[in-house]
Structure 1
Amino acid sequence: MLSKSYSFVNSAFRSLLESVNDLKTALLVRRRITAGNSAMPSSTSLRPSPPTAIPLREIIVKLPRLFPRSAFKSLRDFEDFKRNPNSLQHELLSTLPFFPRPNKEKVANIVRTPVDNEGNYINEFCIEPRSRIPGVSMKHLILIHGYGAGLGFYLKSLERINFSKNDWCIHAIDLPGYGFSSRPRFPFEIGKHSAETAENWFHDRFNQWLRNRGLLEAPESNMVVAHSMGAYLSALYANRHPNHFKRLIMCSPAGICESSAAMRKKIPPWWFQRLWDKNISPFSLVRKSGYLGSKLTSGWSYRRFKRFMYDDDHGRTQHEAMHRYTYSIFNQRGSGEYLLSFALKCGGEPRKALEKRLFHNISDQFKASCQWLWLYGDQDWMDRSGGERVSDFLQEMGLKSAVEIVPSAGHHLYLDNYQVFNKILEREMADF
C-alpha cells in the first residue's frame, strides 16, 4: 500500500468534480440500482514506485480510468459502511470456504482482544484445525500487514495455506489503529515526540495481545510473517523482546536501508512533502469525500486486486469484496497510519535506516535472537541489497538468516504471486 498511497492525491480533487453529476443521478435512482461488475483498468504493473506525485499531463490523460468505480456503487458502499462497517470485513472473510461455517479441516473466528485499560483491542482472524492431535502442542503463525492495510490483504494465504499437520494455528491481526482494531487518537506529533515513543505505542499493545492470547507461554512456537511497515515494527519489537518468537519472515520490509543516490535525487514537490509531514494522506481524502470515497479508493484497489478477477470461479466475488473491504478500512478514523511520517521521510526514505540503527553490534545494541528470512519480489521497489547486507550481518552474529526472491512479484508479493509465497510459508512451517 505504501508504494502507491500518494499516487492519486493530486488527481482526486479533479475526479471529485467529474463525479458530482453522476452522484446526483445516483441519489435519485439509488433504489433501482443492483450490484454488477465494474469495468477494470486495461493494465497493471507489478513494480510500483516509491510514494510520489503524478505529473499533471499524466493525470489529464489517465483521468477517465483513474477511479473506475461507478458513483452508483460508491453510494451503495457508503451506505453499507454507515450502516455497519464490520459487515464489509465479514463479507470478505465469508469468501473463505471455512468461514463463518467450518469445513472438514478448518474452523475460523474473528477475535477482539483487549490490549489496554481504555477499551482498545486488536482485531484478529484466527484459523485453527478442526481436529487437533492429542498431546501435540500448537504452533502459531502470526500474519502482520503493512501501512494502510489490514488482515484481509492476506486473503489468499488465509484461503490456501495447508496445514500439513494439525498442529498450526494462524493469527492474522490488524495492527493497533489499523483495519478493524480500535482506532484511538494517535497521541504523537513529528517534532514533539521521538520515533521510539511512537513505535513503543505499537509494541506495548502488540505485547499485550501476545500475552492475553497466551502466545508468550511457549514463545518458541511463534513464527511472525510481517510486510512492509509491519516488518519494520516487527524487527524493532524482536530487538526489544528477543525471545518472543522463534522466526521472523520480513516481507519487502520498509525502512531497512537508505535509498540509492538516483532515488534520492527524485525530490517530491514541496506541497507533497508538506502533506506528508502533516499526516494528510489519501485516507483523509477518502474520509472527507462522503459518497465518493469508494470511487476514490478504486483508483488503487481495482489495479491492486485485478488478478483476483481471473483466479478461479469466485475471483470476481473476491475482487468486489476486497475493494469494499479496502474502502471500509480507508474510511475509518485515522490512527495507526500516522506512524508513517515518524519512520519515513516524504518519498519513502527512512528517517533512520534500521541497517544503521538496529543491525549493528555497537555497545550491544543488537539483541534479537530469532531466525530471519527476507523476502522480496523480483520487481520490488524496496532495495533488496539492504536486506542482503543485514542478512550477512545476522549470519556473522551466529543467527540463521537468508534472503529469497519471489518471482513475478512486486512490493505486495503475497498478492502478486501468492502461490509461491504460500509455498514458502508452508515450507517454513514444515521446517519449524
Structure 2
Amino acid sequence: MTTDLIARYAGPVPRYTSYPTAPHFHDGVTQQTYARWLGEINSNEPISLYLHLPFCDRLCWFCGCHTKQVVRYDPIAAYLDALNMEIETVARHLGRSQPVCAIHFGGGSPTMIEPVDLARLRTTLDKHFTILPTCEISVEVDPNDINQARLDGWGAFGATRASFGVQDFDLKVQQSINRLQSFEQTRDALEGFRQRGVRSANLDVLYGLPHQTEETLAATIKQVISLIPDRVALFGYAHVPWMKKHQTMIDEAALPNMEQRFAQAALGARLLTEAGYITVGIDHFALPSDTMAQAALNGTLRRNFQGYTTDSANVLIGLGASSIGSLPQGYIQSITATAQYSRRALAGELPVARGFALSEADKARRWIIEMLMCGFAFDAAELRKLFPAQAEALLRQAASFVAADLDDLVRMEGDRFIVTRQGRPFVRVVASWFDDYLATGAARHSAAV
C-alpha cells in the first residue's frame, strides 16, 4: 500500500453503524412519533433490546462513549429506577409482550450494576417482554469492576456473551490513556464468566493509541489469542477531542501517524488470521466455529450501533440515556443528560431527544452501505428487487464511481459492484460515496484507517 494511496483515502469519514449517521438526527422526531412507530411493530416479530448504563468509576481518556465518572453507587441506583420505568413505558406502547431475541448491555460500565439491581432489571424485562430461550444476552465488561457477587449476578441474569475492552496490555500505553488493566485481571474475569455459563467471549483491541508501536500491539494480540476468545475486534482509536473533551488529556504528539496506524492495522489482522481467525468486515475476527464467522461467510452479517452483529432482528429498541434504537420507520435517540432523561422516564414519558424518519431512498442507500461494510459488495439484481423505484439511479451512480476510480478501489464484476482487495481498507470511504447527507452537515469524523 503506497503512501500516496493512504494519504488520499485515510481522511475522516463516518463509521457507518447507521445511515443516515447520528449527526443528521433532528428533534422533528418526537415521543409521539416514537409511540406511533412502536404501535406499528408486528406483534409476533422478535426484537432486540439495547440497555445503556452511562456510568464508569474512572474516565478512560480514549473513550468515545456517552458516559460519566461516578464515585458513589447512588446515582446508578437512581438511574436504574428510571430505566425500569422506561422499559414499562415502551412495553405499554407496544401493547403486548413482544418476543425478544437479543439483549445487549452497553456503557459506560454495565458490570458496575449490583446483583440486586440486575435481578430487578431481569424481573422487569420478564414482566413486560417474552425473553426467548435462545435469546443472546451480551454484556460489555470492565474487569476492574468484577467480583464474585457480580459474576454470580450476571450468571443468574442469563448472560451468554461477554465483551472485554483490552485496548493494549502495555503499561506505558495504558498509563497514557488512563486505563490500567492487567492481563491477569482480564484472564480471571473471562474465566469467571465462562464458569457461569457464558458461551462466547469478545475482546476489543485498539491500534493508533499514544506510545503504541507494532511491538506493543503484537505482544498484546498474542496475549489476547492465548485467551482463545471467540471474537476479536481490532478498532482504530478515534481521536475526536472536539467531541470528547477528555481526549484532550491524550498527548497528540505520542499518537502514531497515518502510515503507522495503517501498519498496525495490517499487523494485527495478519497475526489474528495466522492464528486461525476469519476476517469479518473491516475490523472483526472470529473463530470459524463462531456464528459471526459463519454469518460473514454466508452473507447474513449485519451492522448496527454496536458494530458488526449476527442479530437479524429488524427492530432494535434502545433503552437508557443516549441510547439509539433502530426501527423499520427510522431511528430514535434518547436524551443524553441523565438527570433530564430520568425525569422524563420516571414521568412515564418516552425520553426521546431526536431521531430520523427514513424515506425509501434512505433505505435503499442504507442497504447499499450495509452491504459494502459487511461484504464489500452489493448485487444489482437484489437492489432492483428490494428497491425498484430507486435502483436504476443508484446503479448509474455506482457505474460513475467505477469510471472515475483511478486507484482500483471498486469494480463492476458482472451484476455486482465490488470493493477490490486494495479498496477494502478504505471501504468506509467507498460507502461515503453513496451518502447523500455527508456534504450537508457540519459533523467531523474520525480517520478512515
User: Which TM-score band (shorter chain)?
Assistant: under 0.3
| TM-score relative to the length of structure 2 | 0.24
Higher strand content, 1 or 2: 2
